[in-house]
Amino acid sequence: MDFGEILTRAWSIIWKHKILWVFGFLAAMGGGGGNGGGNAGVNYNLPNNGGQDFNLPQFENLPRWMEGFFESMPVWLPILLVLLALVLILVVIVLSTFGRIGLTRGAWLADEGEERLGFGQLWGYGTRYFWRVVALILIVVAISIVIGLVILIPTVLVTIATLGIGLLCLLPLLCVLSIGLSLFSVVFDLATVAIVNEDLTIADGLRRAWEVFRANLAQIIGMALILWIISMVIGFVLGLPVLLILAPIIIGAISQTRAILGGGALISIVLFLIYLPILMVAQGILQSYIGSAWTLVFRRLTGRPASL
């Protein structure tokens, strides 16, 4: 397998068929989450030294404020929040599944020589393979949770029993297990490619992915390492502007002046909203590149050359 050919071919595909960026962004939704929130309009009832400055020790009153907040919270509010969270999770699962399917199918067709890829065309493949891929995702999540609990519970018990010393002894084992889980995710990616592009059942897709993975272990590990480095470098570059975005609010917090803190927070929010579309596009491009690369890896390892 020619690593250079796959990496350059994947870039060529997503540059020619930029619709894959959309499906890459959708696929990335299932791989991460966002945190957000705000405190606008909330009065914490903390003294502010005449309305100008505030001191960090005053945050000792925060636990008391939180207790009062939860006591006065309407009964229906937690239920509503849980329902909204479940709806959000459901939407993310659906969109990310369509994204995964459309991305791998689009890269497959492009590598076969397809000249035009349309959104409706790729979305249609999502309706065909949706339930199979969703079931595969749920299986992977269930296995990951079980493995996580099997690892977490003994680790916590050993750490408590040895006052933290045992954790140092377990670190090498945890690193090995982390690598194992990463390789397990590669098998999942290959199984998705097999199910969608070879029209296989879930069991056959997993079997097919495992056969390809086992027969080409060294090459797959090499590609996984390359793509991981690419992801880390791009992630680092994309993260640098975030430091600049946070700078105004950090300066405001250090100044301990309410006016400066409020102005800094407003500036940070505006800068973040300006940067957010750039971040979303970059995330879509990165995910479409990685997904296309794994599709090409599967094709090359199963004897399918590019159609020139």
pLDDT tens-digit series, residues 239-254: 888 888 888 888 877 7
Phi and psi, residue 185, nearest 5°: -65, -30
Q: What is the DSSP string of 39-91?
A: -TT-------HHHHB--GGGGGGHHHHHHHHHHHS-THHHHHHHHHHHHHHHH
210-266 pLDDT per residue, tens: 999 999 999 999 999 999 999 999 989 988 888 888 888 888 777 767 777 778 788
pLDDT tens digits for range 39-96? 443 443 444 444 444 444 444 555 666 666 666 767 777 788 889 999 998 898 899 9
Q: Model's pTM, two decimal places?
A: 0.77
SS (H, E, C) 172-194: HHHHHHHHHHHHHHHHHHHHHHH
